[in-house]
């Protein structure tokens, strides 16, 4: 049995999580599920235009893991586009690169993941109140606190070469 895969670092969640071909009723459409970390690979490489080494560093994975993630994302997107399938972006195995916080007085700030793991914030940096809470992005189907692990194995989702 293989070891549990490490979470991929994600800098931003997609603003839109579902795409569907026009003119096909939702009841008759097949879906391709694109995990959050694969959407992040597309964002870093194809939208930001970074080299694969830089993308891999941003996601805290090896270059070869990044290349496999990118290839899988492109294959899923090609399948959806060329075969008239919807794309649902959700789940996967990821962690957010920054955490957002808000104090009781309404001040908001971000803490990089590396700092967060060493010493989570205890007070607001603006007003010094200890009444703070984490603002984790969450949408239905994404999992709790940005972790989408429980959605692995969902409909039309293949891992690796399965």
Sorted by where each begins, the domain ranges of the chain are: 8-95+139-151, 96-135
Residue 41 neighbours by CB under 8 Å, 6+ apart:
55, 59, 66, 69, 70, 73
The CATH classification number of 96-135 equals 2.20.28
pTM for the model stands at 0.64
Q: What is the pLDDT along the chain (162 residues), one digit of tens a residue?
A: 677 777 788 887 888 999 999 998 989 999 999 999 999 999 999 999 999 999 999 998 999 999 999 999 999 999 999 999 999 999 888 887 777 788 999 998 888 766 766 777 888 989 999 898 877 644 333 333 343 433 333 333 333 333
CA atoms within 13 A on the CB side of 122: 2
């Amino acid at each position: 049995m293989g070891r549990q895969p490490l979470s991929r670092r994600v800098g931003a969640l997609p603003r839109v999580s579902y795409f569907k071909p026009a003119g096909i009723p939702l009841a008759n459409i097949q879906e391709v599920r694109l995990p959050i970390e694969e959407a992040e690979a597309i964002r870093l490489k194809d939208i930001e235009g970074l080299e694969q080494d830089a993308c891999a560093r941003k996601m805290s994975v090896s270059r070869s893991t990044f290349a496999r993630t990118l290839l899988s994302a492109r294959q899923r997107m090609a399948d959806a586009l060329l075969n008239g399938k919807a794309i649902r972006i959700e789940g996967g195995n990821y962690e957010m690169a920054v955490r957002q916080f808000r104090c009781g007085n309404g001040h908001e700030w971000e803490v990089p993941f590396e700092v967060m793991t060493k010493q989570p914030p205890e007070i607001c940096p603006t007003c010094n109140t200890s009444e703070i809470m984490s603002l984790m992005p969450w949408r239905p189907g994404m999992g709790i606190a940005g972790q989408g692990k429980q959605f692995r194995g969902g409909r039309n989702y293949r891992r690796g070469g399965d």
